[in-house]
Structure 1
Amino acid sequence: MTTPPRLFDAEQIARNRARRSGPDNFVRDLVLEDLADRLSTYKRDFARAVLIGPDAGTLPQTLVTANGPVSAVRIEAFAGEEYPALPEGEQDLIVSLLHLQVVNDVPGHLARLRRALKPDGLLLAAFLGGETLTELREAFLAADLAVSGGASARIAPMAQVRDAGALLQRAGFALPVADVETHRVRYGTPFALMAELKALGASNPLADRPRRFATRSLLAAAAEAYASRDSDPDGRVRATLEIIWLAGWVPHESQQKPLRPGSATVSMKDVLGGSTP
């Protein structure tokens, strides 16, 4: 088996998080609100549940489904290891929040989570993806080309929702579902966005990142490019935040199976009430 490429630097991620101003995180709060809405639709009892996420002590100890409260074991997503330690025994539910976007081997980690679930167990995962920070990425690309004549890795690559369901299937999950929640956040200036990313511990996590600090001329060029491309009439700038949600079940004989080709008992002609082409 080939070793997955090392895109993300776990030690740098730890340093970024250590420099944070505090545990407040509006992105995590958005995801937790969405998680509550999604879990409320499941008519299922989950006797053993795990909740993986950043700042585990701030995560809820009790989740709520349509059947009532679920006690969850909270696990820190960024405890110094790429893969968080999981409790012994098979789980009924694993929820992973804002972690997969900095995992080097996503299919391998998803397969690991599947092995920790019992048959017919559920995985829910939310991570940053899609067009998240695409405005900042394009601004730095333009600034790098203008200042130094080349591009540097400054914004982490993001998975697209169209690929997310395939990741679940590759990891062995059944009935995979992937969708995306898109948010537009506005800031007074591009520098305000950069400052918030630093405060959230979300500075550049790439292993192949530039080793020199960005110069004033580069930052100024990036801010100018950002404002020229993505500012509103009131002068504030837009930033895109896309959160991809995954849901998959460990295969079990009780789950719904697709019909075999040719096994339909009702013709299209009967459904449409006329002849079919």
Structure 2
Amino acid sequence: MNTPNDTDRPLMTDRAALLRQRARALRAGHADVLHRIAADEIEDRLSEINRSFTRPAVVTGFPDFWAARFPQARVVGDEPLLDLQPGAHDLVIHAMALHWAEDPVGQMVQCRRALSEDGLFIAVCFGGQTLHEARAALAEAEAEVTGGLSPRVLPMGEIRDMGGLLHRAGLALPVADLLSQRASYRDLLHLARDLRAMGEGNAMAARLRRPTGRAVFARAAALMARHHPDRDDPSRVATSFDLVFLTGWAPSATQQKPLRPGSARHSLANALNDLRTKT
């Protein structure tokens, strides 16, 4: 992924195309089921924390949905420069947009700066094996039919790599975990229509700028049906959506600190020997 100083690297995201797709999805009736799952999960996680957050903020490409779910929050767009004031919030949620960021670490750093001491950062975005079935089918079909490849599905970060971004952003007590969802569709074209309704169509800067031949989609649909049938209804196809959750805290002197390696007073071997002796 690119950072603002990587001027020699091509951009990953066509920002104007992404905004057009989001606007089109909203006009048509946003398919927000994965946003609802993400919001429910965040609310559950917040309920398990013994703290009240009174100055929340949400960063998202779909402000109306997230403003309704977090009505007390300041909701801002996922622009490269976030409209957040330093130290103004005790909770910042980056909601379903980080996977499109050219500079995800930069987004996290800005969120950290917007947090007061010991404030909480939570991000949720697509990652892991999201849409790996469609990616494989489209790549194989395009190679067979045209002899070439073009980017069609956004590259998704692996959870281990994405968790490392929290440390790079200066957040303490980092945690990364994944919620995997399986979805069933009539066919690949049904999936493509749903992605457009989510505002998650192909907005990559290097995407093919001319219409794709029907033969490519027909072959990809056949491959998808052959290799990824729905277990409950083999006439349909199944695909994966992985929601990655990233959690970290603005540093504070009152937070627990991990022990330095080698600082333990007793070894595991000695503890096991003591246990055997007692039993």
TM-score scaled by length of structure 1: 0.89
- The corresponding residue for 2:74 is 73
Residues 271 and 188 of structure 1: is their aligned pair in 2 closer, same or farther, counting only changes over 3 Å?
same
Structure-2 residue corresponding to 1:116: 114
Cα distance in structure 2, aligned partners of 1:269 and 1:151: 54
Structure 1 residue 273, shift from structure 2 partner: 3.0
Runs of 4+, deviation exceeding 6 Å? none
Of 43, 58, 64, the match for 1:57: 64
SS class of match (1:254) = coil
Which residue of 1 is the match for residue 41 of structure 2? 34
2 CA distance for matches of 1:128 and 1:159? 8
Q: Which runs of 5+ in 2 are unaligned?
A: none
Distance between the aligned counterparts of 2:163 and 2:62, measured in 1? 27
Cα distance change of structure 1 residues 32 and 261 upon mapping to structure 2, 3 Å threshold? closer
Secondary structure (helix, strand or coil) at the match of 1:211 reads coil
Shift of the alpha carbon at 1:62? Answer: 6.4
CA RMSD, 1 decimal:
2.1
Kindly provide the amino acid, as one letter, of the partner of residue 97 in structure 1: A
1:196 alignment counterpart:
194
Q: Aligned in 2, Cα 1:40/1:5: closer, same or farther, shift over 3 Å? A: farther
Deviation at 1:271, TM superposition (A): 2.0
Q: Is the 8 A contact 2:30 2:199 kept in 1?
A: no
Alpha-carbon distance between aligned partners in 1 of 2:263 and 2:135, rounded to the nearest angstrom: 50
Q: 2:183 aligns with which of 176, 182, 185?
A: 185
3-state secondary structure, aligned to 1:205: coil
Structure 1 runs not aligned, ≥5 long: 64-69
Q: CA deviation at 1:215?
A: 1.4
Alpha-carbon distance change, 220 to 61 in structure 1, aligned in 2, over 3 angstroms: closer
> Secondary structure at 2:73's aligned position in 1?
strand
Residue 82 of structure 1 aligns to a residue in which SS? Answer: coil
Q: Alignment identity in percent?
A: 36
User: For residues 14 and 60 of structure 1, do their structure 2 counterparts lie closer, same or farther at Cα, with a shift above 3 Å needed?
Assistant: closer
Q: Deviations over 1:76-100 (max 9, x none)?
A: 44xxx33442256521110111010
Tell whether the 8 Å contact from 1:50 to 1:95 is kept in structure 2 after alignment.
yes
Q: d(CA) in 1 for partners of 2:234 and 2:153?
A: 27
Compare 100-109 and 84-93 and name the one that shifted more: 84-93
Which of 12, 24, 29 in structure 2 is aligned with 1:22? 29
Query: How does 1:103-182 map onto structure 2 within 5 Å?
Result: 103-182=101-180
Distance 1:89 1:169 in 2: 19
Q: Matches of 1:91 and 1:83 in 2, distance apart?
A: 17
State the distance in 1 between where 2:98 and 2:159 align.
Answer: 13
What does residue 228 of structure 2 align with? 230
Aligned residue pair count: 267
Cα displacement (A) at 1:253: 0.8
Q: 2:14 aligns with which of 9, 12, 18?
A: 9
Question: Secondary structure of the residue that 1:59 maps to in structure 2?
Answer: helix
Is 1:239 matched with 2:245? Answer: no
